[in-house]
Chain A
């Protein structure tokens, strides 16, 4: 998969985990073509945290879903974790999603599963984890819940959790399988200052320990400092920030 070697800002020579070039995207809306993304070029390297900002409706979520293989790319090139997603097969997308952790604007927990079981779903999708058995998966899921400060609430159902707690369960679910790429859409929106900070620290550890790449959408000025790089989306065009 000869991905070109590019120098990172701090001088490392590594293949980027995300490599987007000249990506356009348009929605069909009531028979009308509605362009949302224009000529996006973006590379994200292992261990790097990139924050994506921009006004509402500028296309942040759209770009994030395309990076995670949730939306098929129509034109340009979109190379994620080594596979090209332009006109990719369903099975390629599914396989990619297993290596990507996704935190959505809405938490989307399964209401009929406990917090622990919801987190475990992120492990059960990996056959390697399934083979280790349920006790091992439970232990791993519980450890993650403890890291987001919910160890004591692992048996609770989503209906009995607060909005911020639900958001943290969803974060634990995305992190539990140690994804190589984490995509987070306003992960701290529902959190207070302190737990928001904890979550960002968790992201930092993931990036440092496992060389995972993280792309995070946020309006939260308090956490901008955690980023290696900030990129700005304006009306579908990417502007590299500080």
Chain B
């Protein structure tokens, strides 16, 4: 009957038609606003869950983002920051000969038990040891007052450490230092810095490489846990990594900073169940959205059943009539996405400032939620058309 149509012709026909779906959703503006508010709310729920779980895991990258170089060398068995896996400092020196490498510096990393002087409980502390001439971590507070690390027992304390460390920040601010013990060895906090804790420990500390050895007396003096490799300006880290990979002993490996950060996030995703909890939260958000969209479109179908039957009686086919509802679903999805994105940006700002988690909006996450809402709306739109597909125009008259 109708000849097969070329796409341009079909498209031009689409634009000549009365945009029934658009007319229908905009016919009652208050109802449309309520629908958009409902779908936006579901989107914001999803953004919130993704933001918190993303923020929780992204926060694990904080020390890594402070690393003062482009490449790191770690033990071949490296899994995450905080596991004390040693290798010989001589391995790091090998990297110095490679073209494009400007300098190398060791970064000592270890876990120890911090004594809360007030309640005599011990808490995990992650300790970094840096060489004062070329620190492996970029910490502006130490750069400003390097002399505070000169005492053989002095440390800098992360102001974002958990409260169960004791009133360290207050006492350092009032009296200049806080005395305690790390696994029985005297430790004196002489300075403060701000970085953010990870799942590895409740407390972050930074000290000099010489002091570090006092807190880990068992460690061989040639052993290090991480080597920071600093490149000449404009050198491609991946190229240097490839060169290093080609001759280095397999007991060590070289990673770029993004690779190291990625490894860290993956490790914690595997070893914690927050992902599942927040995943459930995302599902709840999507379910709420589905119910709202279904409710709106279902009542639209029920309210206008005789009109849809009339369309069928005039000669519009099932696909056309079902298409109206699906288009309405997509219109809702698109219209509701933008307000929810705006709201979520505000929410993320608030979360980031009030929780010290790294809650950031990424294009990827926005695109993901957009896909979610498209799927959610068209899925429940399809469900809502069940009645329409079975609708026999004769039964209405």
Which residues of A pack against B, CB within 8 Å?
Answer: 61, 65-66, 68, 70-71, 90-91, 94-100, 102, 104-106, 108-113, 117, 120-122, 124-125, 127, 130-131, 133-134, 137, 173, 185
Contact = CB atoms under 8 A, between A and B. Distances in A.
B315 A70 contact: no
- Which of A66, A127, A137, A185: most chain B CB closer than 10 A? A127
Contacts of A131: 9, 13, 16
A90 B318 contact: yes
Interface in B272-327: 304, 306-307, 309-318
Given A65-B394, A98-B315, 4 more contacts: A108-B396, A110-B20, A111-B27, A121-B314
B314 A112 contact: no
Interface in B360-397: 392-394, 396-397
B310 A97 contact: no
Nearest to A131: B13
Contacts of A108: 306-307, 309-310, 396
B23 interface: yes
Contacts of A65: 393-394, 397
Contacts of B313: 68, 70, 97, 102, 104
B1 A110 contact: no
User: Chain B: interface residue count, which band?
Assistant: 20 to 34
A95 B26 CA distance: 31
Nearest to A135: B16
13 contacts: A65-B397, A71-B394, A90-B317, A97-B313, A99-B315, A100-B315, A102-B314, A108-B306, A108-B307, A111-B304, A112-B26, A117-B18, A127-B13
Contacts of A111: 27, 304, 307
A173 B24 CA distance: 19
Contacts of A99: 315
A97 B18 contact: no
Contacts of B311: 110, 121
B271 interface: no
B174 interface: no
A104 B314 contact: no
Contacts of A112: 23-24, 26-27
A99 B128 CA distance: 83
Contacts of A173: 314
Contacts of A100: 315
A119 to B, nearest CB: 11
B2 interface: yes
A130 B310 contact: no
A102 B397 CA distance: 11
Contacts of B17: 124, 130
B18 A113 contact: yes
Contact of B392 (A71, A102, A104, A120): A71
A106 to B, nearest CB: 6
A71 B395 CA distance: 8
A70 B393 contact: yes
A173 B18 CA distance: 14
A24 to B, nearest CB: 16
Contacts of B396: 108
B16 A124 contact: yes
Contacts of A104: 310, 313, 397
A185 to B, nearest CB: 7
The 8 lowest CB-CB distance pairs between A and B, nearest first, are A98-B315, A112-B27, A71-B394, A97-B315, A108-B310, A70-B394, A65-B394, A125-B315
B356 to A, nearest CB: 50
